[in-house]
Structure 1
Amino acid sequence: MMSNTGVKATIFSSIIILTCFTMKNKRFENRSESFYQTKSDTMSESMMIEMRKWMEEERKYWGSACQEETKKAKEDIRKNKLVFFHYFGVVEQYKGNREMNELLKKYNIEVDSVLTYCTVPSNLQNCYANVMSEEIDRKFGSKFIDSLRNVAEIEYVKKNPDKIYRFEECDWVSRYPGDKSYEEFSKSYERDFWKDAEYPDDFEVRNGKELYSSISAGFILYKTGKTSDIKIDITFQNKKNYRYSSYFINELKKFIQKTKWVPAKSSGIPVNSEMRMTIHFK
């Protein structure tokens, strides 16, 4: 048998879904006003009252849980216990988590992880972790964790010299020669590509109503500056232009191979990386 809490959660979820559906479809009210008015009416006042009660019960639950967690954290701190928490969903974006954990152990700081809930007020969740975080900052300084994270990520890169890093795992600096910033990156290679590649005389440009046509490439850029595994995709909105696919594909492949790419860096160290680039047709 489903518990009262489960029933209320189901009712609440249904109301939220129905509410979102109604809100998202405001633009259709003129077409079928009576239909949406009926749906709105079905969300009776009693259901709205039930929803508010459920929300209040949830807030009381999390408030009580927060008080207990805060009390437990303070008791543990008095016993000289400190815990650093990885936040699930955030931990994946960092490299060197194992190295980070080892560094923390040197300071007698334990490691754990927690979830973050989007439907729970931030001040009422992970209260134990929050108190511990404040104590670590108080004891070691506000920049302590960030400094350890930097050291951990550098150690990770050094331990994995042959890894091919995803584009987003690398430092946000340009990999195109001559650029002074990452913002110049896409503009520079597209500009230089069209210095050599030419449009065939009967190439049909877009007429303003079509979407842009484009050619994209993905390849591996090694820390030596060499490239490999070049894969190219091309899309023409005007189907007649596909007759020039091989020409543009060969031009882009030659451009990639002759360019003296600047190796990517991760934590300031040159690494092998994935590269992506897209060039648009006129």
Structure 2
Amino acid sequence: MDKWIAEEKRYLDSACQAETKRAKTDIKKNKLVFFHYFGMVEQYKGNAEMNELLKKNNIEVDSALTYCMVRSNLQNCYANVMRQEINKKFGSKFIDSLRKVAEVEYVKKNPSKIFRFEECDWVSRYPGDKSYEEFSKSYEKDFWKAVEYPEDFEYRKDKELYSSMGARFILYKTGKISDIKIDVNFQNKKNYKYSSYFINQLKEFVQNTKWLPAKSSGIPVNSEMEITLFFK
């Protein structure tokens, strides 16, 4: 095993040296290449727009893989040298600034897109909320202020078991709501006879609330929305 590890390191050292040499040669020819790393590209929106901005600055685009079993200083050596040269020539904040411009362009080009939660900047989406912590508590508090439990509803006895209901819907940038889907889960099966009652109450609550639209890159967008409430 030790012999195999040593041989692998020699190979990686040699490959890295060759990549570094090739990168420096290309740089002397005024060639610069920006690399998207496989597995990381998906977390960004506006990759096509980003590529166009890079090309306008005479920077080519490529992609690379990362390996968890290989030391970071021995993989993607060509890409690393190129990134250092781009930072040297344009400044360390250049790529991030282009990324922001690209993402704004992407949002503007897709006015009808339904954005996933992770594609949005966090903004409170319940009236009056200023933080995520408030959002996760205030809508539930207000819901239960207006909704009464049926007289023979059986409350939770086991502190380890929870009953809950959730609503998923589309929140448009105009404030409009659509595609409401509600699920109810009771630990006590006898409470299922009240499913329709609670579903209707939650649907009415969702429809009557003036939710604050989500934002992506600071721009109001249509988005997926999900809330969860717990029963006593």
Give the TM-score category using the shorter length.
Answer: over 0.9
**Structure 1, gaps ≥5 residues long:** 1-50
Give the corresponding residue for 2:169.
219
Question: Structure 2 counterpart of 1:152, which letter?
Answer: A
| 1:89-238 correspondence runs (5 A) | 89-238=39-188
Deviation (angstroms), 1:167? 1.0
Question: Structure 2 counterpart of 1:88, which letter?
Answer: F
Q: Secondary structure at the match of 2:161?
A: coil
Question: Structure 1 counterpart of 2:72, which letter?
Answer: S
Question: Percent of pairs identical after alignment?
Answer: 79
Question: Structure 2 counterpart of 1:148, which letter?
Answer: L
Deviation (angstroms), 1:239? 1.0
Give the corresponding residue for 1:44.
none
| 1:33-72 correspondence runs (5 A) | 51-72=1-22
State the distance in 2 between where 1:248 and 1:96 align: 41
Q: Secondary structure at the match of 1:110?
A: strand
Does the CA-based 8 Å contact 1:174-1:182 persist in structure 2? yes
Q: Secondary structure at the match of 1:148?
A: helix
Does the CA-based 8 Å contact 1:220-1:228 persist in structure 2? yes
Give the corresponding residue for 2:215.
265
Q: Secondary structure at the match of 2:178?
A: strand
Pairwise CA RMSD: 1.0
State the distance in 1 between where 2:51 and 2:14 align: 31
Deviation (angstroms), 1:220? 0.3
Deviation (angstroms), 1:210? 4.1
Deviation (angstroms), 1:148? 0.3
**Structure 2, gaps ≥5 residues long:** none
Give the corresponding residue for 1:281.
231
Does the CA-based 8 Å contact 1:95-1:153 persist in structure 2? yes
Deviation (angstroms), 1:142? 0.7
Larger Rg: 1
Which protein has the bigger helix share? 1
What per-residue deviation string (whole Å, max 9, x for no partner) do you get for residues 22-45 of structure 1? Answer: xxxxxxxxxxxxxxxxxxxxxxxx
Q: Secondary structure at the match of 1:89?
A: coil
State the distance in 2 between where 1:113 and 1:251 align: 50
State the distance in 2 between where 1:59 and 1:202 align: 70
What per-residue deviation string (whole Å, max 9, x for no partner) do you get for residues 66-97 of structure 1? Answer: 11111111111111110000011110111100
The TM-score normalised by the length of structure 1 is: 0.80
What per-residue deviation string (whole Å, max 9, x for no partner) do you get for residues 173-230 of structure 1? Answer: 1111101122311111111111111111221122235421110111000010010000
State the distance in 2 between where 1:56 and 1:70 align: 21
The TM-score normalised by the length of structure 2 is: 0.97
Deviation (angstroms), 1:52? 2.6
